């Protein structure tokens, strides 16, 4: 099972990285960053499953890393979207003098 | 107070300061921040004293849990030198900034002032966390804290150009941090720990493909955040467009955060393991930065952009230590360069801010007569320029001398050519910046408080003194280092 998840994680990382490099629009880049991030979090989940000690479902350390990572990715997305909105507001003001 | 407690204090003090600033509001922000920055400097010196006295690294395991379960803080010679450098620069920026971000008595409180002071403290806190971290995930959190503090600093004025620069910086930084985190995940998956001390023991016995993929991912992510050529595209608009106090922080300190992590990764985690070619590749990117940054700096017409391109070039020198790793002078030369560049560049950006205030813009041809209008600032500017060019006896010279001697002892003559060419280019672009200030001309009268000029001069003098006291600094850098760093890879 963990092989499938690992493969999916690798695909997500690849897709996200491709999007980050290829797209020119900032919003798309931020979405790609989130796809890339999801891939990394899934990979950490796989690592947690593989590293489980006897009698446990998963190694708790990578899971803790995922939670912190999600908080960081969320804040980064919020900051990026706020900047994009601010730039859009500027555009609108210039459009209707 | 025990020295381990100081490690906690240097992290908690700025955070407490941020909370107090938020509670106290923009009017109290300046007083609170200055008090915290003075305290931060005192604690950094205290840690330095403890490390010097014992001759060993100071460590603290949070909550009494030792690695691998707990997270360890560790201050060795490298941390101490960078801690003190960052504390001095942050304090200088704090003393310089009030006029720019003060709330006038009876005036309306602005969001800009509150934002600046809390971000200044956040940058100090994040830098301290990076210098003390001994766990790659903890360091990831510190790195992100630094990014989130640095990006808003770019767009404090809120103009369209700075917003675009901030967004571009954020996108580069996010890509970098994602790659770094991916590397961290692979390291944990392979070795089951992220503690640097433990990892360095483990990788010696079982290196392999996953390790090198992880190291490559982390290094490229960190290079994007450090603005290493060819990933430097975001730096000039971001550093050149920000207000001078913010530019000084960004150029002097923020880029050094991700650079410091690269050093931790290469010199402490996988010392002497990387092949010849990997180091050469990083060095080649550094050489590219020195040449391209220098040539582009020569072409600039605005002072702040010229200084920003000079940062691109100076970052290149930092990466020359990787191909020379293992030779005496490589690590110490790189770290000296990081500290000397921090002092000189902070002094230059702050000085450029004062000059632009007097002249009304920072165009190079409008700086005529500045030597008479702002003699102290011009003097500081020239001193800082000498350090960046690498003229003896400045800190910049000692750094480049160490790198040169490492290149000679490694028999890698091509780096010698790069360092000398870089010095010539730096001489060229710094001459372009200094020349108009020393030519006769008339500047509009402007009342610049003497204190702000003295701060600029003090930073330049720090860059100069670093050369004079370099022997002491080099001894300090060696404390708490694993013996393997100065061995042949």
**Contact assignment for B185 to A47 by CB distance below 8 Å:** yes
Residue B390 lies in a domain: yes
Nearest to A80 among B167, B182, B189 (CB): B167
Q: Tokens in use for B482? A: 């694993």
Residue B245 lies in a domain: no
Q: Is A55 left (phi over 0), alpha (psi -120 to 50) or beta?
A: left
Dihedral sign from CA coordinates of B388, B37, B236, A31: positive
Q: Is B184 within 8 Å of chain A by CB?
A: yes
Residue A43 touches partner B, C-beta closer than 8 Å = yes
Q: What is the DSSP string of B259-314?
A: HHHHHIIIIIISTTTS-HHHHHHHHHHHHHHHHHHHHHHHT-SBHHHHHHHHHHHH
Tell me how far the alpha carbon of residue B478 is from its chain's centroid: 20
Mutate: best of B141, B185, B195, B221, partner A, most A CBs <10 A:
B185
Cβ–Cβ below 8 Å for A76 and B137: no
A10 touches chain B (CB under 8 A): no
Which residue segment(s) compose the domain that B403 sits in? 296-306+315-489
Q: Answer yes or no: are the C-beta atoms of B310 and B236 closer than 8 Å.
A: no
ipTM of the complex: 0.93
Q: Within a domain: residue B261?
A: no
Grouping H, G, I as helix, E, B as strand and the rest as coil, residue B60 is strand
Residue A50 contacts B where some CB pair is shorter than 8 Å: yes
Are B302 and B232 in contact by the 8 Å Cβ rule? The answer is no
Distance from CA of A68 to the nearest CA of B (A): 8
- The answer to whether residue B474 sits within a structural domain is yes
Query: Helices B77-96 and B330-359 sit at what angle, rounded to 10 degrees?
Result: 0
Contact at CB, A29 and B171, closer than 8 angstroms: yes
Helix or strand or coil: residue B402?
helix
Q: Does the CB of B155 have a partner CB in chain A at under 8 Å?
A: yes
Q: What is the reported pLDDT for B274?
A: 65
Mean pLDDT, rounded, for A18-28? 91
Nearest chain B residue to A31 by CA: give it.
Answer: B171
Does residue B230 have a cis peptide bond before it, meaning omega lies within 30 degrees of 0? yes
By CB atoms closer than 10 A (0-12, 13-18, 19+), residue B165 is: buried
Distance in angstroms (rounded) separating the CA atoms of residues B151 and B145:
10
What average pLDDT is seen over chain A?
Answer: 88
Distance CA B178, CA B331 (A): 27
DSSP state of B133: B
Answer yes or no: is B270 within a domain: no
* Number of Cβ within a 10 Å radius of residue B356: 18
- Tally of domains within chain B: 1
- B37 in a domain, yes or no? no
Q: How far apart are CA B108 and CA B175, in angstroms?
A: 39
Flag whether B383 is in a domain.
yes
Mean pLDDT, chain B cut into blocks of 10 residues (489 residues total): 83 93 83 91 92 86 74 89 94 83 67 87 94 91 93 88 92 93 92 86 83 91 92 89 91 93 89 75 92 93 92 93 85 91 94 88 85 88 92 89 90 90 92 87 78 91 89 85 50
> Which pLDDT does position B85 carry in this prediction?
94
Residue B58 is inside which H or E element, if any?
strand B58-61
pLDDT given for residue B364 in this prediction: 85
Which pLDDT does position B195 carry in this prediction?
87
Q: Do A83 and B192 touch (CB under 8 A)?
A: no
Cβ separation B170–A79 shorter than 8 A: yes
Q: Which domains does chain A have, with CATH numbers?
A: 2-95 (1.10.287.3510)
Judge: B144–A72 Cβ closer than 8 Å, yes or no: yes
Q: Are B357 and B446 in contact (CB under 8 A)?
A: yes
- In this predicted structure, the answer to whether residue A1 has a pLDDT above a threshold of 80 is no
User: What confidence score (pLDDT) does residue B381 get?
Assistant: 92
How far does the CA of residue A15 sit from the closest CA of chain B (Å)?
Answer: 13
- Return the SS3 of B170: helix
Residues 61-80 of A with CB under 8 A from B: 61-62, 65, 68-69, 72, 75-76, 79-80
Res. A97: pLDDT tops 50: no
Q: Residue A83: which of B147, B163, B175 has the nearest Cβ?
A: B163
Q: Can you spell out the DSSP letters for A18-85?
A: HHHHH--SHHHHHHHHHHHHHHHHHHHHHHHHHTPPTT-SS-HHHHHHHHHHHHHHHHHHHHHHHHHH
Crossing angle of helices B111-132/B26-54, nearest 10°? Answer: 10
- Partner-chain residue, chosen from B167, B174, B192, that has the shortest CB–CB distance to A87: B167
Residue A74 — pLDDT band, cuts 50, 70, 90? very high
Q: Which of B124, B81, B183 has its CA nearest to residue B473?
A: B81
Q: How far apart are CA B368 and CA B157, in angstroms?
A: 27
């Amino acid at each position: 099972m963990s092989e499938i998840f690992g493969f999916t994680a690798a695909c997500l990382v690849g897709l996200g990285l491709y999007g980050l490099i290829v797209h020119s629009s900032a919003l798309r880049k931020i979405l790609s960053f989130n796809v890339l991030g999801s891939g990394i979090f899934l990979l950490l989940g796989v690592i947690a499953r593989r590293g489980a000690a006897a009698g446990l479902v998963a190694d708790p350390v990578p899971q803790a890393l995922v939670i912190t990572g999600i908080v960081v990715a969320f804040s980064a997305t919020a900051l990026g979207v706020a900047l994009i909105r601010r730039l859009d507001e500027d555009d609108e003001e210039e459009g209707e003098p | 107070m025990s020295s381990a407690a100081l490690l906690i204090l240097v992290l908690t003090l700025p955070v407490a300061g941020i909370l107090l600033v938020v509670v106290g509001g923009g009017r109290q922000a300046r007083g609170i921040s200055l008090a915290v920055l003075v305290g931060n400097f005192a604690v950094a010196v205290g840690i330095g004293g403890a490390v010097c006295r014992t001759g060993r690294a100071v460590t603290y395991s949070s909550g009494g849990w030792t690695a691998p379960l707990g997270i360890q803080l560790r201050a060795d010679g490298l941390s101490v030198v960078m801690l003190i450098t960052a504390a001095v620069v942050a304090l200088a920026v704090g003393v310089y900034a009030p006029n720019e971000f003060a709330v006038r008595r009876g005036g309306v409180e602005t969001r800009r002032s509150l934002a600046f002071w809390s971000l200044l403290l956040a940058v100090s806190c994040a830098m301290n966390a990076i210098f003390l971290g001994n766990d790659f995930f903890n360091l990831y959190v510190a790195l992100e804290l630094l990014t989130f503090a640095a990006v808003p600093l770019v767009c404090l004025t809120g103009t369209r150009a700075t917003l675009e620069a901030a967004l571009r910086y954020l996108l580069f930084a996010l890509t970098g941090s994602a790659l770094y985190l991916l590397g961290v995940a692979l390291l944990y998956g392979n070795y089951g720990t992220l503690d640097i001390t433990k990892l360095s023991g483990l990788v010696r016995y079982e290196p392999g493909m996953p390790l090198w993929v992880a190291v490559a991912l982390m290094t490229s992510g960190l290079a994007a955040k450090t603005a290493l050529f060819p990933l430097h595209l975001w730096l000039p608009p971001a550093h050149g467009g920000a207000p001078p106090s913010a530019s000084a922080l960004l150029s002097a300190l923020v880029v050094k955060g991700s650079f410091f992590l690269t050093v931790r990764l290469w010199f402490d985690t996988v010392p002497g393991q990387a092949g010849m070619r990997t180091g050469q590749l990083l060095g080649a990117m550094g050489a590219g930065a020195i040449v391209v940054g220098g040539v582009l700096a020569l072409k600039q017409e605005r002072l702040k952009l010229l200084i920003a391109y000079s940062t691109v070039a100076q970052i290149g020198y930092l990466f020359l230590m990787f191909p020379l790793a293992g030779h005496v002078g490589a690590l110490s030369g790189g770290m000296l360069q990081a500290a000397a560049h921090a002092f000189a560049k902070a002094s230059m950006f702050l000085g450029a801010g004062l000059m632009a205030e007097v002249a009304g813009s920072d165009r190079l041809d409008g700086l005529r007569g500045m030597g008479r209008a702002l003699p102290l600032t011009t003097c500081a500017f020239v001193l800082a320029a000498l350090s960046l060019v690498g003229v003896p006896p400045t800190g910049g010279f000692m750094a480049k001398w160490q790198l040169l001697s490492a290149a000679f002892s490694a028999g890698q003559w091509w780096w010698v050519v790069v360092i000398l060419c870089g010095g010539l280019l730096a001489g060229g672009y710094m001459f372009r910046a200094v020349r108009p200030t020393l030519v006769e001309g008339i500047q509009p009268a402007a009342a610049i408080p003497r204190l702000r000029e003295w701060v600029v001069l003090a930073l330049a003098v720090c860059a100069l003194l670093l050369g004079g006291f370099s022997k002491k600094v080099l001894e300090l850098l060696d404390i708490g280092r694993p013996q393997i760093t100065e061995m042949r890879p």
